[in-house]
Structure 1
Amino acid sequence: IVCVGEGSSLSPSLLLHHAIMKSVWRRLSLVLLLPSLTMAAAPATNHVVLCYYASWAHYRQGVAKYTVEDIPVELCTHLVYAFAILDPKTLLAKQHDSWLDNDLKNYDKFVQLKKKNPGMKV
């Protein structure tokens, strides 16, 4: 038996595995982010909640795909984008993945997340 999901043929057991893993990761994320939620509700403190986004997660398939739009910016005090590289001559940031960073505007979308949480450092 072969089921079709998100443009590819996957076996039912693989689809079930993906669904279970997605559920596990969501629950784990909630457990790990719960302290952040209580910190966000507390008066201003010097706590840092760093959210790290690895751009290669965009290339994952199915339920494992994670895009800039999936970042829970309301929980973050600081937001880090991986990966960018420094030009060795100018020491300015330059693209690591031109298709993702430039063509899909991934880096621009990432910087625009600050509008959703103006106090966040990007």
Structure 2
Amino acid sequence: MITREGKICSFCGEPGSKDLQLVGGLGAQICVSCVDDFHAILHDPEEMAARKGTFPWDTMSDAELLATLPQIMASAEQNTAFAHEWVDLLRERSISWAEIGRTLGVSRQAAWERFARKGGDKTHTA
């Protein structure tokens, strides 16, 4: 079952909670605070102009870049976990490993090796 429980904001890295609601899809999650921040930027022409063509990492120190790496990895791991949950959902709907592999551009066996749960996909074989 796909849930938001235990997820983090893909933008600031804060864990979701009763006080920090997360919304999103396709693995990425965003907290209300980040939505508000981005909304304010998008609706302020001067702020948009100041940010045009720049990236946050352009002005970050080496220490800031290093400190951000664990957040990037946590977000990537969250997306990988979501892909596994999505494949579980497909398998619950009796979508074949062959169809999953075809969709991903890999063989049935490669899809099974990547996504089959170690406890086994007991109802469906590769």
Q: TM-score, normalised by structure 1?
A: 0.28
Structure with greater strand percent = 1
Structure with greater helix percent = 2
Q: TM-score, normalised by structure 2?
A: 0.28
Which structure: larger Rg?
A: 2
